Structure 1
Amino acid sequence: MGWEDIAVGPEATNCAAPQHANLRDLINAADALDAPQSITVNPFNGGVSLHWLGCDFEIAVYDDHYESYRFSDGETAIWHWPHAPGDPVEAALLEQIGEAGPTASPS
């Protein structure tokens, strides 16, 4: 799965306009980084979640922010990233994505 697959998938195209715009912002900003391997929609809050399998990392996209999650040893670290459509994506969030992909260097 690549970033463009996510952009045209049903999870992306069926969400509200601001959420879709935020997803598009993330896709455009992270295009050179490893894409997630799966995408889901949280049935409880409607977040579009991007999953990097095998590295315990996930990003949820909402209409006014992103949330990133790192899972390790039964613990979950959560970061909140305020984001309005059209704003630049935080460099630190892009750094997390770069560290999550299968071609990322081991830390």
Structure 2
Amino acid sequence: MATDVDIDELLKQDEAALREKKKRLKAFSAALDEARAASVKAAQAATTALNSGDLTRGDLARVFGLSKGERALLFPSSTRASAKTGDDAAGGVEQSDSADHENA
């Protein structure tokens, strides 16, 4: 039967395509893991440089030509940093709103 042969051939092609897709996805996963590890290492090095007083955030950004995304990754903003420590960022917003009403 010709249709059985055609179906078997299609299945073999699909299996080969799936194997190739699996290889590509595994390669992407490995590259992503490497990138994540590198970004953690870079953030730790940036924190060390900042804490030691060697350079400021601005100095690091200028010297190394950091993009906006890289700066966001390496130097958490004060609101993100306070959220990690459990501070309530919304409280500051409420205070500034009430201060605006008092001045009006």
Give the TM-score of the pair, scaled to structure 2: 0.22
Higher strand share: 1
The higher radius of gyration belongs to: 2
Give the TM-score of the pair, scaled to structure 1: 0.22
Q: Of the two structures, which has the highest relative contact order with CA contacts closer than 8 Å and spacing of 6 or more?
A: 1
